Chains A and B, each alone.
Chain A
Amino acid sequence: MSVYDNESHVIKGIKFGVLPPHEIIRMAKVTVIRDAIYEADGSPVAGGLRDPHFGAIEPGERCPVCGNTRDTCPGHFGKIDLARPVIVPHYGDALHGILQATCRNCGRILIPTDRIRYLTAIKERLKKRWPKLADTFVEEVKREAAARMECPHCGARQFKIRFIKPFTFYEEHPEGERRLNPIDVRERVEKTIDEDLVLLGVDPKYSRPEWMIITSLPVPPLSVRPSITLETGYRAEDDLTHALAEIVRQNERLKNFLISNAPETMIEDAWLTLQHVVASYIDNELPNTYQLTHRRKRALKTLAQRLKGKEGRLRGNLSGKRVNYSARTVISPDPMISVNEVGVPVEIAKILTVPIMVTPYNIEEARRYVLNGPDKWPGATYVYKARNGKKIDLRYIRNHKQLAEGLEVGDIVERHLIDGDIVLFNRQPSLHRMSILGHIVRVMPYKTFRLNPLVCPPYNADFDGDEMNLHVPRLYEAMVEAKELLLVEKHILTPRYGGPIIGGRQDYISGAYLLTVKTSLFTEEEVGQILAAAGYKGPLPEPAILKPRKLWTGKQLVSLFLPEDLDFKGKSKINAGSLKCGSEDCFHDSYIIVSGGKLLMGVLDKNAIGAEQPENLLHIIALEYGVSKARLLLDTLFKGFIRALEMRGLTMALDDIEIPEEAKEEIMGMVDEYKEKVAQLIRDYEEGRLEVIPGRTPEESLELKIIGLLQELREKAGQVAVSHMDPFNDVFIMARTGARGGEVNITQMAAMLGQQTVRGKRIRRGFRKRTLPHFKENDLSPEARGFVRGNFRDGLRPTEVFFHAAGGREGLVDTAVKTSQSGYMQRRLINALQDLVVSYDGTVKDAWGNIIQFKYGEDGVDPTLSYHGDGVKIDRIIQRVAKKNGDRR
């Protein structure tokens, strides 16, 4: 039956075996005997690596084998007849196993006859249902056979076989080792009988062990190793051709030695060289072999190198390939579009297309696209006529009007991307499923993709030059799938930690705080501005203050957007330091209470609306009111936050991190005090009076104590700095609300940088017995070992700059190393887990139906819908039930 007839075929499986010599010889249409490729006149050498029998490649050329021209000739294999056999390196282990398990004299497996029958029966039974166990069983059998030192069939004594990768075998005789050359190996494995091989896990029909040693090397056709003509007219041959030429050269050399009866050592030497060259032709990165190179430089890319690695055939061309209907450009923020949308430049929208079937209902629309043509958006690039199956390229059609009028139901119009289309949007590295989300297209001017900044967290994107990829689904199935499964709002909640991954960051948080803080009151005009930005269309609530003029609180405005029956309690981010408060009657406005959809108390900050903050307000709304409600909030209220922030303005200047003179003096005093403490420790150490930490040397103890003291100093300095700051200082607002930066950053800007470390220790590298030439040798004082008492505002002393650079460099190196290592780990984990499925009965199974887990996660909870990992949050249930009962009473 031919593959080309109209019957459907189902592939049940693929069987791999060893290519047998008779097959190699049958395939070969030419035997290569010359290493030259071209004659002086430029024609291919007969019996060379470009012999015409490899197939037709030049235009007009007829193949001497099949008579086809280059378009239809499939290409043909050739062969090189090796003067002496060589071992195919990758079969070394298999050969070793067979050599050890079989008799060196009679070739039978080293197991008594009746036991062979018994073991074979077990193996056959296992193979049916327990293929993995059958493999381990075979290993057991091999071990048993290899351990027997006398043949149970002929009584011959056996010796251990030592194998040095990739192709050297030694037999360990009592009087010394003896090398087994490929001919010896082949003679031995030739004697094995098929029944014995089955027990050794070999299918003799497809892989006789003697086939693993070759005398005929197949030479692939030219389509596998095409030569390229450079602009200069020179011909450059493929790396495989170069490798094969080297094999031919070494083979001819060996042949000559054999013919001329050269000394045995020279023959052996040439034979080994041939073995090495053949091994390198198959895999040029084998250990213990010579690499084939291009004039002593670049290593040749031979067979294995074509398949292996990231750019190899498997990972580079089969698992991943370049695609059409995709686009890539820089991203920039647009807080005014929906989180579900993506802004696509017109230029890109005119290239990416979607096929639409012309129906009676859309024929007018389709006509408009055709009329606009390929250059005017929204237009079309191609029309497929149902009538004759022809594809019309609109770029080369002059009369669009005529074509548009002639459009018929059933035609297909390849139209431009338009508003409302769904596309896939992606940012590398694609570490989790939220790295590819579905967005609704919004075609816009200019040349960048526009992204709502609220969707930055799942992509881990920022706008410092990041680029992203866009893919257009072209089938209705794919579009629906993207809309139902991949749309941004369906990924507000993440399975990673059971919380919202999408949410406010940076300005959204500062804005929410400034809108909801007690001191903020808004005039009618301001309220109008904020609500308009947020897209609110209802009536205004009663103002909180009527006289002397109407004023509203931010909390009133926020409440307009919350679900009517929402109840929520929780601490704000600012609930810390001097504003710390555990109780619900919080004077500092740092305890959030939402009751009946009204924000009664507390400011909104990172803990309420932040991204990646489980169990916050956004999380509760997404869980209990649905993700589209949460998305609506992101598209309305959050725009209000930004507007409120814009009205006030948020920025930072030098005086925001300025602290008064007396604070500076206080810090100076503390520095002196701690320097004295450290000096005292050093004196104690030198005089041997230092209290040693258990399990540490005196030196280590001293270091640990000094680091502890200096850390304390920095914390105290930081507290001093913070205590002198105006709470409505913009930098301080950002730190308190969690919008950007923390206490450490403020300390480092305003007070002091503190101890710099490399690998968790004070800095000691640099010069002999000292860090910098500014210090004496063996100086253990803080300032000589990386303590920086300067700050970013006032500047660092020269020595401090060096210490800071040393500490900073470590961070950079760390991140570089960590990303590459975790990337590799990620790859391996995904390869191992990719086919696991949670079945409807809650079990986790692999692709073969094997049970991996009896209940997913052992509790059956979907982390996406959990409260930070908990399937049920009992407090909330009680709260709701109590409230319901209260209502009834």
Chain B
Amino acid sequence: MPSKSRRITKKILKHELVPEHRILSLEEAVEVLRRYNVKPWNLPQISINDPVIKLLGGKPGDIVEIRRRSPTGGESVAYRIVVPF
């Protein structure tokens, strides 16, 4: 169990090293899986214990869209599926 003394606050979402996360709606999630022609378990995973996922209230099975700055590609988009641990 993580210690309760350190609370995670919304502050971390503003940190420059924390990229923008967004939980996709069911329709969007299905569209992502269709676009890449993959099954959910083929996606990269993100833990439900991840601080950002906790703040956003992600549940196992949710797909998150992560937009981040990339040294080669300008802005790059990645999708991760939330897993229970």
Contact = CB atoms under 8 A, between A and B. Distances in A.
Contacts of B85: 133, 136-137, 140
A133 B37 CA distance: 22
Given A854-B78, A859-B72, A849 B38 contact: yes
A854 B79 contact: yes
B73 A859 contact: yes
Contacts of A140: 85
Nearest to A849: B42
A587 interface: no
A869 B71 CA distance: 11
B76 A851 contact: no
A273 interface: no
A34 interface: no
B35 to A, nearest CB: 8
A130 interface: yes
Interface string B39-62: 111111100000000000000000
Main DSSP-derived SS at the A contact region: loop
B77 interface: yes
Interface residues of A, number: 22
A129 B60 CA distance: 14
Contacts of B42: 845, 848-851
A857 B73 contact: yes
Contacts of B44: 850-852
A851 B39 contact: no
B66 to A, nearest CB: 10
A841 interface: yes
Contacts of A133: 45, 83-85
Nearest to B66: A854
Nearest to A139: B85
A843 B84 CA distance: 26
A850 B76 CA distance: 18
A857 to B, nearest CB: 5
Max count, chain A CB within 10 A of own CB: residue among B43, B70, B72, B74: B72
B19 to A, nearest CB: 12
A841 B73 contact: no
B72 A841 contact: no
Interface residues of B, number: 21
Nearest to A130: B41
A555 to B, nearest CB: 39
Interface in A817-847: 841, 843, 845
Contact of B76 (A129, A849, A852, A858): A858
Interface string A121-139: 0000000011001001100
B84 to A, nearest CB: 8
A855 interface: yes
A137 B60 CA distance: 14
A849 B73 CA distance: 23
Interface in A854-869: 854-855, 857-861, 869
A861 B41 contact: no
A851 B72 contact: no
Contacts of B72: 857-859, 861, 869
A129 B41 contact: yes
Given A133-B83, A858-B70, A858-B73, A851 B36 contact: yes
Contacts of A845: 42
Nearest to A842: B36
A843 B41 contact: no
A857 B83 CA distance: 25
Contacts of A852: 44
A179 B44 CA distance: 45
Contacts of B40: 129
Interface of B: 36-45, 70, 72-74, 76-79, 83-85
24 contacts: A130-B83, A133-B83, A133-B85, A136-B85, A140-B85, A841-B36, A843-B36, A849-B38, A849-B42, A850-B43, A851-B44, A854-B36, A854-B76, A854-B77, A854-B78, A854-B79, A855-B76, A857-B72, A857-B73, A859-B70, A859-B73, A859-B74, A859-B76, A869-B72
Given A129-B39, A140-B85, 14 more contacts: A133-B83, A843-B36, A845-B42, A849-B38, A850-B42, A850-B44, A851-B43, A857-B73, A858-B76, A859-B72, A859-B73, A859-B74, A859-B76, A860-B73
